[in-house]
Structure 1
Amino acid sequence: MYIRVKRHKTTYFIQCDPTELTLDIKQKLQGLIDRPSSNQRLTLLSTNEILDDSKTLAEQKVENDAIVALTLKKDDNEFEEVYIARVEDFTPFS
C-alpha cells in the first residue's frame, strides 16, 4: 500500500505496509526531508488523529491511499499547525 504525506505544497508518496509502525514512516521521511523523526508529527486527515509512533498503521486505521499531514517542530519546541495548500489557493497568472 502507499500513503500520501502532505505538507504545504509538497506531497510525498510513501510505500508502506499496514504492519509498519508510525515511527517507521517517520524514518522513511527523515531520509527525504532531513529532519529527525522526533521533530515530525503525522496526523491522519480523515480523522484528525495524531498518529502514535508505537502503533502500526493498521491499528490506527490508516488505509491505502490515506492522506497524512506532516508537521514539524518549530524552534520553540511546539509543532506547527497543519497546513496543506489547495488548488483553490492559487490563482493563475494574468
Structure 2
Amino acid sequence: MYIRVKRHKTTYFLQCDPTETILDVKQKLHSLIDHVTSNQRLILLATGETLDDNKTLAEQKVENDAIVALTLRKDNNEFEEVHIEKPEDVGNSPEPDVSLG
C-alpha cells in the first residue's frame, strides 16, 4: 500500500505495509526529512486523528492512498498547526476555442 504524507507544499509517497507501526512510518520519513521521529506528528486527514506511534496502520484504519498530514515540533516544544497548500486551481483558465470540422 501507499500513503501520501503532506506538509506545506510537499508530498511524500511512502510504500508501507498495513502491519507497520506509525513509528515505522516516521522512521521512513526521518531518512527523507532529517527530523527525528520524536519531533514528528502524523495526523490522518480523513478523521483528524493523531496517529499513535505504537499502533499499526491497519489498527488506525489508514488505508491505501490515505493522506496523512505531517507536523513538526517547533522550538517552543509545541507542534505546528497542520498546513497543507493546495496547488492553484488550473480549472479556472478559459478553455481554448477549438472547432472540429
Q: What one-letter code is carried by the residue in structure 2 that aligns with 1:53?
A: D
The Cα shift of 1:61 comes to 0.2
1:40 corresponds to? 40
Counterparts in 2 of 1:1-94, with a 5 A limit?
Answer: 1-88=1-88
Output the CA distance in 2 between the equivalents of 1:35 and 1:46.
24
The C-alpha deviation readout for 1:23-50, integer Å capped at 9, x for no partner, is: 0000000000000000000000000000
Larger Cα-atom Rg: 2
Query: What is the TM-score with the length of structure 1 in the denominator?
Result: 0.93
CA root-mean-square deviation: 0.9
The Cα shift of 1:13 comes to 0.1
The Cα shift of 1:63 comes to 0.1
| Secondary structure, aligned partner of 1:87 | coil
Output the CA distance in 1 between the equivalents of 2:17 and 2:48.
21
The Cα shift of 1:88 comes to 3.8
Identity, % of aligned positions: 78
Q: Which runs of 5+ in 1 are unaligned?
A: 90-94
Structure 1 residue runs of 4 or more that deviate by more than 2 Å after TM superposition: none
